[in-house]
Structure 1
Amino acid sequence: MSNYKIVDLFSGAGGFQIGFEREGFETILSTDFDEDCEKVHKKNRPNVPFLRMDVHDLSSEILDKYVGKDTNIDVLIGGPPCQGFSTIGKRVSSDPEKRTAFDPRNTLFREYIRILNYLKPKFFVMENVQGLLTRDKGRIFEEVKETFRKTGYEFNYVILNAADYGAPQIRNRVFFYGNRVGVKMTPPIPSCDGSEEKPYKTVGEAIGDLASVPDDASINHVALKHGDINIRRYALIPEGGRLPEDQLPPELYRKNFGNTFKRLHRDKPSLTMVPGHNAFPIHPWLNRSLTVREAARIQTFPDDYIFMGPRQKQCMQVGNAVPPIMAQCWAKYLREELDKYYGNK
């Protein structure tokens, strides 16, 4: 296969890259500001150029040095950090006039578009949380669209569910995509729909064999040591359900039970893997939360892909990633379009 070239911004643990590399794309540059993500890249893909720095400092001179001024980039990919747009947890306003509440993560899409304008790839795909569309009454979404319009790229957006593309996980994300070569783009065709003919992949299929595997830090498979009270709570959660808060004895009650007190179902796709804490949802039949490796399986990372840093950072690396199988669907579609483009020149 021809090695079409990509640049990956906000690459995190590299889920987007994995999908594209599976389809024969060559990563010219991967970049993120997080030191533990840098360790992940050096551990798993030491031969792929990685630059750890703030995207605001990624100047044209630096891009020329690492990408090459005359390098022909085919696709720009990336997912600007999304916590400022998320519907989970405390959110802050993107309004610069409200300085005490301003979250700079809400504006990182502008840096993605700045670099898009400079590199001028033929295609681009940018991923973010669905909450971007409604945040601040839709003002951020309108700004994103207007900024893309100014690039001259033909673009569109779509909300896709990872379960429809082979991941054992209900995960809705918005993808902005476009090109400057006159292609009428459509999203990748789903492979699953939950029907008998095209069933969703399930949690049991993804992680069932790991239930009997002993703790092994070398593969990120280490169970959290839960306290006795939480284990008693977990034992009350039905498979596929949540903690029955109104039926708890007084000694087990507390305020603010969240996603960490929901149990997955072995015969269904998972809840969305949410980063930012040490505890993923509860295992379908064991009274503990998922290990990092189990969450990575649900995100469709390969077993030989190792996450680095403290456990909380590993959870964030897994939970923030674009599922590789979903990225591969985009890559396969774009490879077909690039084959036609180069074949017609």
Structure 2
Amino acid sequence: MEGEIVKYTVVDLFSGAGGLELGFEEVGFDIKFSTDFDEYCEKVHKMNRPKIPFLRMDIRKLDEKILSKYISGEVDVLVGGPPCQGFSTIGKRISSDPTKRYQADSRNTLFKEYIRVLKCLKPKFFLMENVEGLVTRDHGAIFEEIKQTFKSTGYDFNYVILNAADYGVPQIRNRIFFYGNRVDIKMTPPKQTNSEKGKNTWCTVGDAIGDLANIADDKSINHVALKHGEINIRRYELIPEGGRLPEHNLPPELYRKNFGNTFKRLHRNKPSLTMVPGHNAFPIHPWLNRSLTVREAARIQTFPDDYIFVGPRDKQCMQVGNAVPVKMAKAWAKQIKKELDEYYKKQKQK
């Protein structure tokens, strides 16, 4: 009917806390089905979006029969971000034997499961996100394998590395996106909206979280500060804004062998470092001597304040840190919607 609003359909694999699908939902897409293996991610979905079908299961067991129970008709877009553990040589699930490790990675990497479901569902468009390091992992062998596997599907596809800061996210976060379609529409990445210099400059940490500094702990919104020990607080006091701990110039009582990303302090007038949860903590607040709360990290990941994370703190940190920033997902959703509009317009003209 003339003037009818079309809601394009999306299926989300490896959905985690739901950053990708939330971005697509904000643009008007209809999320038909979502899946992840993690029990706490399931709880996040059921709390925040109870009406969207969610299935917690090992994706290797997700077959056409199961999918047909949740999905009827054609799917417009398949999205997802397979965890990078399958590309790593140090994960708990990887053998210490190099031969077995190589066999495990070459036979059972999770990106292949994404592509298997792609072949099964045959969506018109797809979008797959992963870490930038994938390009050089194993001397580029995995990257080449992914490209060849996508090529075998018959989809016209491409890939691009984008920085989330260029799309309104107050965070330097470079990720690779594989994107494509089977409907003969030329696809392009979303246009950059922000830059380090220019009219629309990068969003900053101060703008994103400044108002939370004076708010008392509130479990209902995931805003609870870690109770750091005296030694760590003394270390934090030595970290300049936008800098890191001066490891080689510490009093003996503050020294230890390894200091990770959690001993870096953010700058209020710059985007954040990449939000990667480490040992139950995020980087240090720009002007407070503590690590970021889960809510502050969620703000930096552009989740709305009414989106709640559940489980132990380390699980909440993983949910936030591993997500695709909502604004980054929204930029892709807007772009893919334009291309779907073009496709359906051509179909009507036939």
Could you say which TM-score interval applies, normalised by the shorter chain?
A: over 0.9
4+ long deviations beyond 3 Å: 83-87, 89-97, 100-106
- Contact 1:156 1:178 (C-alpha < 8 Å) held by counterparts: yes
Give, in angstroms, the shift of residue 193 of structure 1: 1.1
1:127 is matched by which residue type in structure 2?
E
2:53 to 49, 53, 67: 49
Mapping of 1:43-82 within 5 angstroms?
43-68=47-72, 71-82=73-84
Alignment match of 1:307 (pick from 301, 309, 320): 309
Q: How does 1:1-345 map to 2 (within 5 A)?
A: 1-68=5-72, 71-85=73-87, 98-99=99-100, 102=104, 107-345=109-347
- Between 295-304 and 96-105, the greater mean CA deviation after superposition: 96-105
The question of whether the paired residues in 2 share the 8 Å contact of 1:40 and 1:307 is answered with yes
Task: Tell me the percent identity.
Answer: 71
CA contact (8 A) 2:221 2:305 kept: yes
For 1:60, give the aligned amino acid: E
- Partners of 2:211 and 2:109 lie apart in 1 by 42
Q: Which amino acid aligns with 1:169?
A: Q
Distance across 1 between alignment mates of 2:335 and 2:26: 13
The secondary structure found in structure 2 opposite 1:83 is helix
Q: How has the CA–CA distance of structure 1 residues 270 and 165 changed in structure 2, closer, same or farther, with 3 Å as cutoff?
A: same
Aligned-residue CA RMSD in angstroms?
A: 2.0
Secondary structure (helix, strand or coil) at the match of 1:212 reads coil
CA contact (8 A) 2:87 2:109 kept: no
For each residue in 1:89-141, what CA deviation from the matched residue of structure 2 results, as whole angstroms up to 9, or x when unmatched?
A: 87997999722574699710000000000101000000000111111111101
Residue segments in structure 1 that go unaligned for 5+ positions in a row: none
Q: What CA distance in whole angstroms lies between the structure 2 residues aligned with 1:233 and 1:90? A: 30
Letter of the 1:99 partner, please give it.
K
Rounded Cα–Cα distance in structure 1 between residues aligned with 2:97 and 2:332? 34
State the SS of the aligned residue for 2:45. Answer: helix
- CA distance in 1 between counterparts of 2:78 and 2:51 reads 19
User: Which amino acid letter does the alignment assign opposite residue 15 of structure 1?
Assistant: G
TM-score by length of 2: 0.94
Q: Give distance in 1, aligned partners of 2:63 and 2:97.
A: 23
User: Deviation per CA, 1:135-165, whole angstroms, max 9, x where unpaired?
Assistant: 1111101110000000000000000000000
